[in-house]
Structure 1
Amino acid sequence: MRVLSCILTEHNLWLVLLAAFVCISGGWITLNLLRRAESTHDLQRSGWVFLTAVAAGSSIWCTHFIAMLAYEVAAPVTFDPILTMASFLLAVFGCAGGFAVTLSRLPRVAPEFGGAIVGLAVTLMHYTGMMAYHVDGIVEWNKGYVVASVLLSVTFAALALHQAIRRPWRFAGIAGLVLFVLAVVSLHFTAMTAVSVTPLITGANLADPYAMEAMAVAVAGGGLLMIGTGVASYMIDERASRESIQKLQHMALNDLLTGLPNRSSFADYLQNEMEHAEEDGVKLAVIGIDLDRFKEINDLRGHKAGDQALKAIGRRLARLVKDGEFVARVGGDEFAAAKRFRSQNELLDFVARLEKVLFEPIRIDDFETVTGASIGVAVYPDDGIDQERLVSNADLAMYRAKADVGRAVCFYESKMDEAARARHMLAQDLRRAVELEQLDLHYQVQTSVSTGEICGYEVLVRWHHPERGAVPPSEFIPIAEESGTILVIGEWVLRTACREAASWDAPYKIAVNLSPVQFAHADLAKLVHAILLETGLPPARLELEITESTIIADKSRTLHVLRQIRALGVTIAIDDFGTGYSSLDTLRSFPFDKIKLDRSFMSEVDQSIQAKAIVRAVLTLGKSLDIPVLAEGVETDHQLEILRVEGCDEAQGFFLGRPKPVEQIFQVEAANGDEEASFSGRVPPQRMRRR
C-alpha cells in the first residue's frame, strides 16, 4: 500500500503512464531481439546481443529517468550529468553481460543466472541515477524497501528470461514481457518508496513542472528512437530471413532449370492427394513422362540447347495445368504429372493436353525440333494403393509406350508386371549364360556383288535358353546392355570368333559388332590386342563394326579408342549407315574402312524411288571417299541386281546365306585322309580346309 500510495500521491501520473509505455515497448523489442540472437552464432550473435542490450538499456534508463521526473518533491532538483551518463552505460553493459550469459553454454541455469545479472544491472542503474538526483533537502532511506527493490528486480528479471528462453509456447512471450516490465517497474517504485525527502529552505527556485514534463517527453522520444532502431533492425532481418527461407524452400522444392516442382514436391503432393482422393471418393492419375529425342538434341547441339529445350517444355507444362492438376520435373529428361478426376473424360482431356504440348515443335536458335515423349498412366486406387506402387506402375506403362513406336500414351495393365518380372528373370539368367555355355556363334556370309566371291562373315551371337529355347538377340542384347552383362558377352564373342576364325585355312575376314557400353566401360584396345595375341588371328582378318550412336555418346574418347584399335591393323566399319544421325562429320572425323548400308533401305529399294535414291547416294559417297560399301538385308535376286548396277562393293542377306553355326557352314567330307569343306550357300562354292 505504501508503494501504491507513493505512485498515486507523489508522482505525476501522466508521466508515470509515459514511463510505462516506454518500458513496455522496450521490453517487447528486447525479448524479440533476444530470441533472434538465440538463433544466431559467433560474431553474428555478439552483434545481436549488443543491439538487444542497447534496446533494453535505453528503455530501462528512459523508464527510470521519466519516472524520476514524474516524482514530485517541493524542493529544487538538479541532475549530475556524469552520474546520469554512468547510469545509462551501466544499464546497457549490464544487460549485455546478462544476455551473453543467458545465451551461453554455461550450466543449465544460464537463462536464470543471466536474468539475475540483468536485474542487478537495473538496480545499479537506478541507484546510480539516484546519486545523480540532487535535491535541496534531507534525504532518508528505508533499508527494507531498498533490499526489497533489489530482490524484486533480480527475481522478476530471472523469471522473465526463463520464460523467454525456456518456454517456446505462444503465451510465454506475453508472460516474459510482463515479468520484464515488473522487474523494472517494481524496482523503481519500491526504491522510490524507500526514499523520503524533507525540503530545506534555501531560496532556490523550484523546478518548472512544464519544463520537467518537456524534458520527460524529450527523454521518451530519445528512448523510443533507440527502441525504434531495434524494431527496424528486427524487421529488416526478419524480412531478409523470411525471404532467404522462402528462397531456400523454393530451391529445395523446385527444379532450378525449369522452375517446375521437383521429385520431392511431387512425392509430397501425391501423398496429400491420395489421402484427399480416398476421403472425397475420387480417383488420382499418376503420369510418367519421358522425352524420346532429348538425347539427340544434347548430342548434336550440345547441353546448352538441351537446357533450352527443357526450359521450353517446362514453360508449356506450367501453363497447361488447371485446378487439381500437377506437373513436376523428376529427372534429366523425365517429368511426372498427377490429375484428380471423377470421370474418365477428365483424365483423357488432361493426357491429350500433355501430349499436345510435348509434341509441339521447339525452336532453339537456328533450328526447330520435336522432342516427343512416351507417357505412362496409372490410376489410384485401381492400379495401386501406395505411392511407390503407383509411380512404379506408371513407369512400367511409360516404358511400354516407349517400346511401341506407334503409341505415345499407354495405360497400366496388370500383365505389364508379369512382363517386367520376366525381363528381370531373363537378365538374371543372362548373367550366367556364358558360364553355362548357353551362347553360340552364328556366321552370315558377306560376298562381293560383282564376282560372288566370299569376302568374309559377320559374327552373330545366339542364346539358347534351357527353358525358353532360342531367345532373339533383339530381346536379350538390350537387356545385356542395360545390366552391363554385355561386357562379359562381348569379350566372349570376340575371343571365340577370333579363335574359330584362326582355325580356318582360308583367310576370310570376320566382322564383330561392338556395343557402346564396351567403349564406355572397357579398355577395348588392350582387350582386342590381347585376344589377337592369344588366338593368333592376324589383325587384318578382324573387322569391328560400330554404330554412329556409339561415337556420338562420347566422340573424343571413342575416336581415340578407334585409332588405337586401327593401329593394331584391325579394320573398322560403320554399321546401320543411313539411319539415326548419319552425319558426314562422322565420316570426316574418322577414316572408316567400310560403310554398311542399313537393311531398311534394301527392303524398299524395289518399290521406293526415295530408297533407291538414298542407296545410290550412299554408294556415290563411298566411291568419293574411297570407302567400300556393304549393303545389308539382300533378300531377292532383283535387289542384288540393283546393287550390281549401282556399283555396290559387297552384300549380305538371306538371299546370299542365312546365319549358321560354323559346323553347318563347313560340311566336312573325308577325302584321302584330309578334311575338306565346301560352303553351302547361294554363292559359288568355295574350297577350304579346316584344321
Structure 2
Amino acid sequence: MSVLGCIIYRHNLWLVVVALLICGAGSWVTARLVLRAFATRSLQRFGWSFIAAVVAAADIWCTHFVAMLGFEPGVPIAFDPVLTIASLLIALVGSIAGFVLATSRVSRAAPALGGAIVGLAVALMHYAGMLAYRVEGVVIWNRTLLVLSIVFAVGLCALALHRAGVAAGEPGEAARARSRGNAAALVVAGVLALAIAALHFTGMTAFQVVPLAIDGHFSNPAALHALALAVACMALVIAGSGCVSFLLDDSVRAESVEHLRTMAMSDMLTGLPNRANFNARIDAELARADDSRKLALIGIDLNRFKEINDLHGHHAGDEVLRILARRLASLVREDEFVARVGGDEFVAFTRFATRDELADLLERLETALYRPIRYDDAEVISGASLGVAIYPDDATSKTVLINNADLAMYRAKADLTQSVCFYEPAMDEIARERRSLTHDLREALARGQLSVHYQVQTSITTGDICGYEALLRWEHPRLGFISPAKFIPLAEENGLILGIGAWVLREACTRAVAWSPPYKVAVNLSPVQFAHADLPKLVETVLVETGLAPERLELELTETAIFADRERSLDVLQRIKAIGVNLALDDFGTGYSSLDTLRSFPFDKIKLDQSFVNEAETSRQATAIIRAVLALGKSLGIPVLAEGIETQDQLTLLANEGCDEVQGFLLGRPAPLSQIVASGQLSLLADDEPVVDVARP
C-alpha cells in the first residue's frame, strides 16, 4: 500500500476533510492578511501582522488537532492538557515572531527568514502535540520521515512568505500589491496549506504504534469526534473573524477613498462640484457630443458680492454663497450641471435640443440668483451676470468654449440692461483690442508716453487758488487721446496700476516742488494701489527724493478703497498722517458714504461727487444731499470741495450753501503744467534758484 493510502486508511475520512477545509480556509485568510501587512506601514503593518499570526496559529493548531482526533491508531488514546495548551502557545508565539519579522523589511531575506520561523513553529507545535498524544502502546518514530516533515514545514513556509513579499513589491507600492492581491493570495495560501498538510501527514506517517493489551482502557470515538467538530468550528470562527476584519478594512478603505475623492471634487464651502469636477465632467460631455443635442456652457459671476462682503462682513458673504449654492443645486435636472469654480464665480452646462430648453434653465438660474436673501436682519440681493457659449456652434474645444463663455459673461456684466449675454464673434475682437491696449499701456509706461495734467481747485469765498489735482493722461501714438475711464480699469486688472500710480505720485511731487506760490498738489490713489502697495513707505520715499513738504501733498481715495480691510486701512492712513500728508475722501455721496468712516478715519477734506452738483438744479433730493454733506463737514470741522462745477448757477448754489472749495470746467479744465504756467496762475522756480518751501515748517 502507498504512503498516502496508509495515511488515509489510518484516519477518519470525514475528519480529514474537515482538517483540510480548515487548513485551506485558514491559509487563504492568512495569505490575504499577510499581503495587507506587507502593503502597509508602521503600526498598521504590525497590527495586520498580528492578526495574520493569530489566524495562522489557529489554522495550524486546529488543523493539527482535528487531524489528530481523526487519527485511528487502533489503541485507546488520551491527551495531556499541559502539552496540548503548550502546543497552541508555540504556534501563536512562533507565528507572531515569524510574521512580524517577515513584514519588517529589515532586509531582502526577512520574508523568507520569517517564513522559516513560522515553519519551525508549525513543526514544534506538531511534535509538542504528538507528545501530548497518549496511546496505549509503544511509539516508534521513523527519523527520516520526521526530519523530512520538518524540512517541508520550514521550506514551504519560507517560500510562502517570500512569495508574499515579492507580490507586495517595494515599499510604497501598496496600490499595485492590492491590484494583484487575488493571484498572489492564491499562491501564498496554496504553499502555506501545503506546508501544514505536508508536515502533519508526513509526521503522522513517521509515527508508529505497537499496541499493548491493557484491560479497562478504551477511547470514546463519539466524544473525540464531537471535540474535533467543536475545534473545527472554532477554527472557522477565528478564520472568519480575520476575513471579516480584512473585508471591513477594504470597505473602510473604499469609503475613505470615496470620501477623499468627494472632497477633492467638491467645493468645501458650498458642497457644489468644484473646478476639478467641472473639468472632468465637461471633458466627458464633449467626448460624447452628438449632432442632435448641443451643449451650452454658462459662466456665472455674482454682481454685488464684494459689496455684500464690505457691508456685512465675510461671514455674510460665505452664507450668501452657501444659500445660492443650495438654490442652484436644487434646480438642476438631468443633463444639467452646476459648479462653483472660485470666489463668486459659478459655471453651469446643459444638453439641449431646442432653444426653449436652454431658455428654461437660464430662467431658473436668474430666478435663483436674483431672489432676495435674508441674513440676520438684513435682506440682500446679489444678482449675477450670465454668459452663454454653445458647443459646437461657438467653439470646437473646451478651452475656447470656456473662454467664449467668459467673454459673454463679461459683456453681460458691463451691460446694465441685461443679465444674460450670448457669445458673439465680435466679442473676440473686443477682447483682442483690450489685450492690445493693455500691451500698449505697458509700453507707454516704459517709454514715458504718459503725462500728468493739472486741474485747479479754488476757494469759493475768496476765489483764491487752493491747489491743483494731478490727473493722468495718455496720448496713444496711433489712437490719440485715451480716456482714463478706459485705460485705468485695464491697468487695475493687469497689475500695471502699481507702477503707474507710483510714477504719477513721483511726477506730481517733482513738479510741485518748483511751484510758486507753493500750492498743494492732490494725487488720486487707486483701490488696487491702496490694497497692495506699501503706501506709507512709498509716499515717504517720494517726498524725501523730491524734497516736497509733506503738508503740500494731498492723497485722495474713495471709501470703496478702505472697506475691504478696515483695520489695515486705518493703520495705513494713520501712518500716512504721521508723515504729515493730507487725506481727502473722494466721491463722497456715492458708494457707502458711512458716517462711521468720517469718524474713524483721519480725513482732512471731503470731496462731494459731481453727480449731485449736476442734478442740483433739477433735483430737490440732490440739493438736500448737498446741504446735508456741507452741514456734516462744518459740524466735523472738515472742509468740503465740490467737483464738476460747469455753470455759474451751480457755483452760486454752492456759495449760498456755504461750500468751502470747488473744482470743475467753469474754473479751469485739466491742462499740462506748461499751459498753466503760461496762463500766469503760477510760476516755476529757476533751476539755479534755491527751493524755499514755505509750506515746510
TM over 0.5: yes
Q: Which residue of structure 2 aligns with residue 261 of structure 1?
A: 273
| Partners of 2:395 and 2:99 in 1: CA distance | 57
Go from structure 1 to structure 2 and tell me whether the alpha carbon gap of 1:574 and 1:383 turns closer, same or farther (over 3 Å shift): same
**Cα distance in 1 between the residues matched to 2:422 and 2:151:** 77
Name the CA distance, whole Å, in 2 between partners of 1:11 and 1:379: 79
Distance in 2 (CA, whole Å) between partners of 1:636 and 1:409 is: 40
Query: Of 648, 652, 656, which aligns to 1:641?
Result: 652
Equivalent position of 2:75 in the other structure: 75
Partner of 1:464: 475
- The CA distance in 2 between the partners of 1:98 and 1:380, in whole Å, is 63
Give distance in 1, aligned partners of 2:506 and 2:593.
30
Matches within 5 A, 1:219-230: 219-230=231-242
CA distance in structure 1 between the aligned counterparts of 2:412 and 2:475, rounded to whole angstroms: 28
How many angstroms apart in 1 are the aligned matches of 2:569 and 2:452?
A: 26
Aligned to 1:193: 205
Q: Give deviations 1:423-480, integer Å, cap 9, x for gaps.
A: 3333333233244221111122223334544333221110112222222111221222
* TM-aligned CA deviation for residue 523 of structure 1: 3.7
CA contact (8 A) 1:76 1:204 kept: no
State the alpha-carbon separation in 1 of the partners of residues 648 and 105 from structure 2.
93
Q: Secondary structure at the match of 1:249?
A: helix
Quote the Cα distance in structure 2 between the aligned partners of 1:342 and 1:109.
66
Contact 2:644 2:663 in 1 (8 A): yes
Alignment of 1:463-612 (within 5 A): 463-612=474-623
Task: Output the CA distance in 2 between the equivalents of 1:505 and 1:447.
Answer: 16
AA aligned opposite 2:660: D
User: 1-side partners of 2:392 and 2:101: how far apart?
Assistant: 58
Task: Supply the distance in 1 between the matched residues of 2:69 and 2:568 (Cα, whole angstroms).
Answer: 87
Does residue 402 of structure 1 match 2:409? no
Matches within 5 A, 1:101-500: 101-105=101-105, 108=108, 110-112=110-112, 114-143=114-143, 145-154=145-154, 156-158=156-158, 160-161=160-161, 164-167=164-167, 168=180, 170-277=182-289, 282-500=293-511
Distance 2:585 2:111 in 1: 78
Alignment check: 8 A CA contact 1:2 1:193 kept: no
Q: 1:163 touches 1:173 (CA, 8 Å); kept in 2?
A: no
Among candidates 630, 634, 651, match of residue 619 of structure 1: 630
Moved more, 475-484 or 446-455: 446-455
Mapped to 2, the partners of 1:530 and 1:57 lie a distance apart of: 80
Q: Distance in 2 between matches of 1:172 and 1:505?
A: 93
Shifted more, 554-563 versus 56-65: the winner is: 554-563
Q: What SS does the corresponding residue of 2:615 show, helix, strand or coil? A: coil
One-letter amino acid of the counterpart of residue 382, structure 1: D
1:213-237: per-residue Cα shift (whole Å, max 9, x none)? Answer: 1221232233334334434433443
5+ residue gaps, structure 1: 668-676, 680-686
Looking at structure 2, the residues matched to 116 and 541 of structure 1 have their Cα atoms a distance apart, in angstroms, of 91
Larger mean CA deviation between 635-644 and 258-267 belongs to: 635-644
Alignment-derived partner of residue 59 in structure 1 = 59
Question: 1:209 deviation in Å?
Answer: 0.9
Which has the higher mean CA deviation after the structures are superposed, 101-110 or 187-196? 101-110
Aligned to 2:23: 23
Counterparts of 1:133 and 1:537 in 2: how far apart (Å)?
109
Corresponding residue SS for 1:197: strand
Distance 1:148-1:283 versus aligned 2 partners, 3 A rule: farther
- Name the CA shift for 1:547/1:227 in 2 (closer, same or farther; >3 Å): same
| CA distance 1:109–1:528, shift in 2 (3 Å) | closer
Give a deviation string over 1:339-393, Cα, whole Å, max 9, x none.
2333333223222222221222221122111222222233333333333333333
Counterpart Cα distance in 1 of 2:115 and 2:282: 49
The answer to whether the 8 Å contact 2:102/2:113 transfers is yes
Give the deviation of 1:652 after TM superposition.
Answer: 2.1
1:84 aligns with 2:91: no
Secondary structure of 1:198 counterpart: strand
Displacement of 1:262 in angstroms is 1.7
For residues 272 and 192 of structure 1, do their structure 2 counterparts lie closer, same or farther at Cα, with a shift above 3 Å needed? same
Q: CA deviation at 1:621?
A: 1.7
1:601-644 residue CA offsets vs partner (Å, 9 max, x unmatched): 23333333332322222222222222222222223333333323
Structure 1 vs Structure 2 CA RMSD: 2.7
Query: Aligned equivalents of 1:220 and 1:12: distance in 2?
Result: 14
Report the Cα distance in structure 2 between the residues aligned to 1:337 and 1:214, rounded to whole angstroms.
Answer: 69
Change in Cα spacing, 1:533 to 1:138, as seen in structure 2 (3 Å) is closer
Per-residue deviation, residues 23-79 of structure 1 (Å, max 9, x unmatched): 233223212221222232123312221221111111110111011001122211122
Contact 2:450 2:475 survives alignment (8 Å): yes
Greater CA drift, 436-445 or 425-434: 425-434
Q: Distance in 2 between matches of 1:259 and 1:160?
A: 48
Distance 2:366 2:38 in 1: 53
Aligned-pair CA distance for 1:689:
7.7
Q: Which amino acid in the other structure matches residue 193 of structure 1?
A: T
What do the CA deviations read for 1:529-559 (whole angstroms, capped 9, x no partner)? 4434444444333221111112113322322
Whole-Å Cα distance in 2 between the matches of residues 439 and 624 of structure 1? 41
For 2:546 and 2:214, how far apart are their aligned partners in 1? 127
- Answer whether contact 2:386 2:421 (CA < 8 A) is retained: yes
Percent sequence identity is 56
In 2, distance between residues paired with 1:64 and 1:180? 14
Greater alpha carbon shift after TM alignment, 153-162 vs 356-365: 153-162
In structure 2, what is the Cα distance between the partners aligned to 1:6 and 1:303?
Answer: 85
2 CA distance for matches of 1:226 and 1:357? 58
SS in 2 for 1:201: coil
Separation (CA, whole Å) in 1 of partners of 2:391 and 2:4: 71
Which whole-Å CA distance do the structure 2 matches of 1:426 and 1:207 have between them? Answer: 105
State the SS of the aligned residue for 2:618: coil
Unaligned stretches of 5+ residues in structure 2: 168-179, 687-697
Specify the code of the residue in structure 2 equivalent to 1:522. Answer: A
Task: Render the CA deviation track for 1:248-301: whole Å, top value 9, x for unaligned.
Answer: 2222221221111222212211222211225x7643233322222222222232
Change (3 A) 1:533 1:29: closer
Given that residues 277 and 340 in structure 1 are in contact (C-alpha distance below 8 angstroms), is that contact kept between their aligned partners in structure 2? no
- AA paired with 2:488? I
Residue identity matched to 2:226: A
More displaced, 378-387 or 291-300?
378-387
Give the TM-score taking structure 2 as reference length. Answer: 0.89
Shift in alpha-carbon separation, 1:610–1:3, aligned structure 2, 3 A: farther
